[in-house]
Amino acid sequence: MKTLLIAESRQGKLLPGSYEPLDFANKIGAEAAMFLVGSESDLPHFDGSLYFAEESEVGEYNPEEHLRLILEVVDKEKPQLIVLSHSSYGWDLAPRIALALQVGQISEVVGYQDGAMVVPACNSKLQRVVQAQGEVTVVTLQSGAFGLDDEPAGTPTVEKLSVQADSKFEFHGYEEAEEGGVDLTKAEIIVSAGRGIGKPENLAIVEALAKVLGGEYGASRPVVDSDWAEHSRQVGSTGQTVAPKLYIACGISGAIQHLAGMKKSEFIVAINTDRDAPIGEVADVLVVADLKQFLPALTARLEG
């Protein structure tokens, strides 16, 4: 089996997720070539062919040119599997590749089973086992599902691709997340509020528990998107990554993007009315209770 692994770079830096497709290829025992639009000064460590184009020539968002370059490489390498990360780069590009080749795509792969791919469904409460029909398949990998333990070694054989720079998309720069607010990464105890708090007034009972524990309060994305908490308090793949001694998730279901930001915490407690909530997968203790009753009771007990 031959694979083409699509690595990722942003602002001249190779993204660490780039090695996840490599681990995947190793695990299924496949041969691998890599593709990267990136910077010559930060190439992946990998013993094999690297098809490379200069990021500054392609531009930040130019999916059509990335597609054209990948199709050129596919034509040369004839891979059976094209592997990307399920990231803002990968989920944007993968369907374009699949459509151009008229082949199937399997998104957010977390494992493989008898030659088929396993993907999550319904907020990871279920899994689908998916089979592709054609000779070639495009897959994207769930972030963190694969990955090498150590930074790999090796030097690629670079084959440089020439770029055509025209695009329908005009890139007008980056916007960074707002600076300031709390630095959750410094907190030893974090009590986080999810959509399960129901209304903004209930944030107070989460805050009260954080206070009595001497910690900070955090939030899941919907709480921040609704302006109930500031962005600096958001935990997850588009917020902060934290690893406190104690993380208490209140009314948070445990979507993969939230877990990405807190699963390395030393001890995790979840308060949830849903016994099957996926947060149970990472929680050391899942308390099945209504947070509106449980949190004030816990706070009172700790104060007393």
Ligand X SMILES: Cc1cc2nc3c(=O)[nH]c(=O)nc-3n(C[C@H](O)[C@H](O)[C@H](O)COP(=O)(O)OP(=O)(O)OC[C@H]3O[C@@H](n4cnc5c(N)ncnc54)[C@H](O)[C@@H]3O)c2cc1C
Cα 54 from Cα 215, distance rounded (Å): 46
Residue 253 interacting with ligand X (CB under 6 A): yes
Question: Is 253 within 8 Å of 123 (Cβ atoms)?
Answer: yes
In the list 196, 215, 218, 244, the residue contacting ligand X (rule: CB under 6 A) is 196
* Contacting another protein within 210-239 (CB under 8 A): 213, 221-222, 224-226, 231, 237-239
Shortest reach from residue 234's CB to ligand X, in Å: 6
User: Which residue number, 33 or 260, has a Cβ lying nearer to another protein?
Assistant: 260
Interface with ligand X (CB under 6 A), residue from 222, 244, 268, 286: 222
* Ranges within 201-220 binding ligand X (CB under 6 A): 220
Report, in Å, the least distance between residue 197 CB and ligand X. Answer: 7
Contact 251, 219 (CB under 8 A): no
CA-to-CA distance for 77 and 136, rounded, in angstroms?
Answer: 12
Query: Is residue 47 at the binding interface for another protein, with CB under 8 A as the rule?
Result: no
- Minimum distance from residue 236 beta carbon to ligand X (Å): 2
**Rule CB under 6 A: is residue 17 a binding residue for ligand X?**
no
Rounded to whole angstroms, how far apart are CA atoms 183 and 163? 41
Report how far apart, in Å, the C-alpha atoms of 159 and of each of 1, 53, 83, 222 are: 21, 9, 19, 44
| Binding partner selected for residue 44 from ligand X, another protein, none, CB under the kind-specific 5 to 8 Å limit | none
- Residue with structure tokens 């010559």? 40
What whole-number distance in Å separates Cα of residue 113 and Cα of residue 184? 39
Q: Shortest Cβ distance from residue 63 to ligand X (Å)?
A: 17
What is the DSSP-derived secondary structure letter of residue 78? -
- Give the contact letters, 131-150, x = binds to another protein (CB under 8 A), - = no: xxxx----------------
Q: How would DSSP label each residue in 233-294?
A: GBBSTTSB----SEEEEES----HHHHHHHTT-SEEEEEES-TT-GGGGT-SEEEES-HHHH
By CB under 6 A, name the one of 194, 215, 218, 244 that touches ligand X: 194
**Segment interacting with another protein, rule: CB under 8 A, options 32-40, 76-84, 157-165, 174-182:** 174-182
Query: Which residues on neighbouring strands pair with residue 193, listed in sequence order?
Result: 219, 250
Which residue number, 34 or 249, has a Cβ lying nearer to another protein?
249
- Smallest separation (angstroms) from another protein to the CB of 70: 14
Nearer to ligand X, 23 or 274 (CB): 274
List C-alpha distances in Å: 24 to 5, 19, 30, 41, 244. Answer: 9, 9, 9, 25, 30
Which does residue 194 touch among ligand X, another protein, none (CB within 5 to 8 A, set by kind)?
ligand X
Q: Choosing among another protein, ligand X, none, which partner's interface includes residue 195 (Cβ < 5 to 8 Å by kind)?
A: ligand X
Q: Which does residue 292 bind out of another protein, ligand X, none, counting CB within 5 to 8 angstroms by kind? A: ligand X
Instruction: Report yes or no: 137 and 43 within 8 Å, Cβ to Cβ.
Output: no
Say how many C-beta atoms besides its own lie within 10 A of residue 195's C-beta. Answer: 16
Which positions lie near ligand X, rule CB under 6 A? 194-196, 220-222, 234-239, 251-253, 255, 257-258, 261, 271-274, 277, 290-292
